[in-house]
Each structure stands twice: as C-alpha cells, then as structure tokens.
Amino acid sequence: MPRKSTRLTFAVLASGAGVFAMLQSLIAPALPTVQHALHTSQSTATWVMTAYLLSASVFTPILGRVGDLIGKKRTLVAVLLAVMAGCLLAALAPSIGVLIVARVVQGIGGALFPLSFGIIRDEFAPSEVSGSISNLSAVIAAGGGVGMVAAGPIVTALDYRWLFWLPVGIVALTTLIALRYVPESPRRAEGSVNWFGAVLLSGWLVALLLPLSQASRWGWGSGRVIGLFTAAVLLFVLWLFVEARSHSPLIDLRIMRLPAVWTTNAAALLFGAGMYAIWSFLPGFVQTPSSAGYGFGASVTAAGLLMLPMLIAMFCSGVLSGRLEPVLGAKKLLATGAALGAVACGFLALWHDQQWQVAFAAGVFGLGIGLAFASMANLIVGSVPPEQTGAATGMNANIRTIGGSIGAAVTSVLVTSRLQPSGLPYGSGYTHGFSLLALLCLAAALAALLVPVQRAGRGSGMPRASHDVPRTEREAVTPGARS
C-alpha cells in the first residue's frame, strides 16, 4: 500500500522524466545557433546530439538495474543531481568540447524512465499502477514534443543557453522534493551489478549506435563504419555469453525471452524507428524553402508550431490510454498506436503540399505515440517480476532508441541519396522516406499482435503477462526473487 502521497510522488517522477524527454529534442532545432555561437563546424556540433544518445543508451539499463539492487529512490536522486549538473555545465560551457561533455552527463538521466516505472509499481496501489504508468508515459512523450515546440521561442527571446538554465531550476526543485517525499522502495533484487556485463553492454551499444549516427558523414562503406559494426556484433555475442553464465546478470536474458517481453520489444524497435525519424526529418521538411518544389520555408519557431498538434495529441492519447487499457488491454492499444503511426506516415507520403496536411499527419502520429508509449511500459511492467522492473523497462527504452537510430539512418540515406543543384534533397527522397516509415510502423503493429493475450491479475488492477507463461518458466525467471 502507498506510504506517502502518491500524487506528490507522481509529480516528482513526471517532472524529472519530462525534463529529460524535453532535453532529448530541445537542442536539435538550436544546433545551427550553437554552431555559430561556439565557432565550430556542423559535423562537430552534431556530437551535441550523438553524445547524449550514446550516454543515455549506456546508462539507462545499467542504472535501472542499480536501482533494482540498491534502492530506486537513492538512485533516482543521484540521477537527478547528475542531470542538474549536466544542465548547469551546458549553460556555462565556454566551448563545444565542454558542451559535449555536459551532454554526456545529462544522458545519465535516461535512467529516470525505468526508475520512475519501478517506483510506481512499488509504491502505488495496484489499481493505480496501470493508469499512473500511462500518465507518466504521456508526460514523457509530450516532453519530446515540448522540446521541438519551445526551442525556437526560447532561443529567439533569450539565448540558446536558456535551453539549459530553465531545466536547472526545475530539476533542482524536483530533487529537493524527491529527497523529502519519495519513499524508498521496499523491494530489492538479489545479487550485485555485473560490471563486466555492463562494460560489454556499453561497448556493443556504442559500437552500434555511433556508426548509425555518423555513417552519413563517414560513409557507409568506410573502414570506421564497417569496423564498428563488426565490433558491435562480436561484443553483443560475448555479452550474451557472459550474461547467460552470470549468477547476477545485468539483464536477465530469461526475462527477455518471455513472450510478452520479446514481442513488445520487437514492436518498440520498429515503432521507435518510425517515431524518431519523424521527429528528426519532419521539422527539416517544413523548413525547406518552397523553391525546392516542396516545403514551406518555415522558421524554427513556425516549424515547432506545426508540430504542436503532435504534442497535444500524444499527451491526450497517453492519458486516455490509462482509461482504455483496463477495457481494451495494452496489446490492442499498442497495435492501434503503431497503426496510427503507419496511417500518418502513409498520409505524408501522398499529401504534403499544404501546411494543414503536415499538421494533421503530425496530430495522427501523436495519437499513435501516446498510445504506444503507455502500452509498451504497461506490457513490460506487467510481465516481469517487481525486482526486474528497472532493468527490463530500461532495455525496452534502449531498444526503442536503437530502432530510432536505425530509422533515422535509413531515412537519411533515402532523403539525401539524390540532391538538387542547390544542395537540397529532391521531394521524392522524402516521399520514399515517409513510405518506409509507414511500413515500419505497420510492421510494429503486426509485432504488437503477437503479444500474448493477457488476463488481469486478481486484485492487481493491471495485466500480468506471466500468467500466460507456463509455471516452470515463470519459476525459472524468478529464483529467489521474493524479498
């Protein structure tokens, strides 16, 4: 039963996770401004995004597991302090190198997602868990949208450094409230952190994501790209071997093999590819001068306003999913969310000549994001033992990020493969890109249909996918788990 105000606890978790989600997209529209202000090249400025991505991918599952072991509140406060320090360093950064280091520190905040889901599962009444996870997912999804919409006005009215000064104040207040009011989780996983497994996990994630994010500059056939992909495969195989033999694995591979977990992760990979690619390329599309035969020559602020329907839709649908999930089930909502993403991308592939068409498609995609985010989190949380919540939800977030990197990289190839004499892409490149994203989202919907049908756990107020797993397999994944 809850021991403190769950409303205040939720407000703390929503503030922290929302700020981190906002930091993911807040700096992207301001990269040209940062490049000019810090006197650096475009290729160097992109590391402001790449460093954040790599850092978050490494720290999200590792610190999610640390929270399961030593306490989620303690880890949450430490992560919030790291995010605050990273924002403060970024706001004061005198050079691009210091800013990149600051973004690495901010990336530690990726662990806020799994830690927040774990705290909700531990501290909230069973009947409140599903709805609270849906609401938090809505805040996380909307946070990314807020970043896209707010970046232009903040930079125009103030300065790009205020993109970091504002989060400093929010995170500082959130940390103080967390220290005072968020209770420490009573559940702890047994064992210790498998640091060798953590190093291998970090290694293959960096070796995979780095060439995906830089291949357009390095060249897909370059030695660096091929070498890093090869290293990623080798390190991944070694990581699987080490984790399978470890008495205290960082990521319990038996959990990852549960039908509800691997099918949800497959949908996350595919939907993440479509979602992050839309976030990356749709603002650029609307900012392209109309002389290219498409685009509207929109400013950063105007482009953000065109994304506003997406922001509103994903928050509303995320909150609504908490009410629909007990009736329809998280599986149907995930499939519906991915299908809406496919419809939106298909619409963009056919109709993108008017601003209202782009705004409409963005709104439809936003509905899909809100439903999918909440459903994925509920499916994972409802499928794993409480002591594995942080690690499992952390991996789900990571798999979504990996999908996003793949989707953005492949879309970039399609968009930039043929350039006009002006250096701008042809409109057909975007059409092909939107068509591919529609197929990826459709594949995500099909993957969601493979998620086992769940039955509500008696008195739990949320689905328990493990009820569909044979008893022997359930026992195999939870040896000595009950504390």
Do the domain assignments include residue 482? no
Decide if 348 contacts 358 (C-beta within 8 A).
Answer: yes
Same domain membership, residue 354 and residue 206: no
Asked if 72 and 22 sit in the same domain, the reply is: yes
Residue 387: the pLDDT is 78
What local confidence, expressed as pLDDT, does residue 459 receive? Answer: 36
pLDDT over threshold 70, residue 105: yes
Q: How far is CA 251 from CA 248, 254, 402, in A?
A: 9, 9, 17
Note whether 265 and 234 are same-domain residues.
no
Same domain for 186 and 102, yes or no, is yes
CA atoms within 13 A on the CB side of 123: 25
Kindly tell me if the per-residue pLDDT of 311 is higher than 50: yes
Q: What is the pLDDT of residues 213-264, one digit of tens each?
A: 888 788 888 999 999 999 999 999 999 999 988 888 878 888 899 999 999 9
Q: What is the DSSP string of 83-146?
A: HHHHHHHHHH--SHHHHHHHHHHHGGGGGHHHHHHHHHHHHS-HHHHHHHHHHHHHHHHHHHHH
Structure token pair of residue 173: 């207040």
Which residue's structure tokens are 């591919």? 436
Within-domain flag for 1: no
Q: Is residue 465 within 8 Å of 288, Cβ to Cβ?
A: no
Q: Residue 51: phi, psi to the nearest 5?
A: -60, -40
Q: Which residue has the tokens 């232009």?
A: 152
Q: Residue 3: pLDDT above 80?
A: no
Rounded CA gap, 232 and 178, in Å? 38
Same domain, 397 and 430: yes
* The predicted structure's pLDDT at residue 166: 92
Residues 365 and 238 in one domain: no
- The whole-angstrom separation of Cα 268 and Cα 263 is 9
pLDDT tens profile 333-377:
999 999 999 999 999 999 999 999 999 999 999 999 999 988 998
Beta pairing partners, 463: 456
430 inside domain:
yes
Is 110 within the bounds of a domain?
Answer: yes
**pLDDT confidence bin for 430, thresholds 50/70/90:** very high
Q: Would you state the pLDDT for residue 4?
A: 54
User: Would you call 456 helix, strand, or coil by DSSP?
Assistant: strand
Residue-range definition of the domain harbouring residue 324: 6-193+248-477
Number of domains composing the chain: 2
Does residue 33 sit within a domain? Answer: yes
* pLDDT band for position 156 (cuts 50, 70, 90): confident
> Is 268 a residue whose pLDDT tops 70?
yes
Please check whether residues 353 and 376 belong to one and the same domain: yes
Query: Which positions ≥6 away from 272 have C-beta within 8 Å?
Result: 399, 400, 401, 402, 403, 404, 407
Q: Is the pLDDT of residue 9 over 80?
A: yes
User: Within this chain, do residues 456 and 334 fall inside the same structural domain, yes or no?
Assistant: yes
Cα(334)–Cα(373) distance, rounded to whole angstroms?
8
CATH value at residue 110: 1.20.1250.20
**pLDDT > 70 fraction of the chain, expressed in percent and rounded:** 93
What are the percentages of helix, strand and coil residues in the chain, rounded to 5? 80, 0, 20
Please tell me what DSSP assigns to residue 380. H
Strand partners, 425: 419
Q: Are residues 345 and 419 in the same domain?
A: yes
What's the rounded Cα separation, in Å, for the pair 463 and 461?
7
Mean pLDDT over 279-289 rounds to 86
Q: Do 136 and 182 fall into the same domain?
A: yes
Percent above pLDDT 90 for the chain: 40
The answer to whether residue 412 scores a pLDDT higher than 50 is yes
| pLDDT band (50, 70, 90) for residue 2 | very low
* Interatomic CA distance for residues 58 and 38, integer angstroms: 27
Which residue type occupies 467? H
> Of the candidates 4, 394, 18, 23, which has an alpha carbon nearest to the alpha carbon of residue 179?
4
Mean pLDDT within 196-202: 90
Residue that terminates a domain, selected from 230, 247, 264: 247
pLDDT computed for residue 214 by the predictor: 82
pLDDT at 351: 94
Domain-embedded: residue 79: yes
On whether both 308 and 372 belong to a single domain, the answer is yes
| Within a domain: 51 | yes
pTM of the model: 0.82
pLDDT (tens digit, 9 = 90+) per residue, 45-100?
Answer: 878 888 888 888 889 888 988 888 888 999 999 999 999 999 999 999 999 999 99
Residues whose CB is less than 8 angstroms from the CB of residue 232 and which lie 6 or more positions away in sequence, other chains included: 204, 207, 208
Band of residue 467 on the pLDDT scale cut at 50, 70, 90: very low
187 domain residue, yes or no: yes
One-character DSSP codes across 407-455: HHHHHHHHHHSSB-TTSPBPHHHHHHHHHHHHHHHHHHHHHHHTSPPP-
Are both 225 and 303 inside the same structural domain?
no
Could you give the CA distance from residue 78 to residue 84 in angstroms, rounded to a whole number?
Answer: 10
Q: Which of 232, 247, 262 is the last residue of a domain?
A: 247
Helical pair 308-328 and 355-381, crossing angle rounded to 10 deg: 40
Domain boundary among 208, 231, 247: 247
Give residue-wise pLDDT tens across range 433-462. 999 999 999 999 999 999 997 654 433 344
pLDDT score, position 457: 43
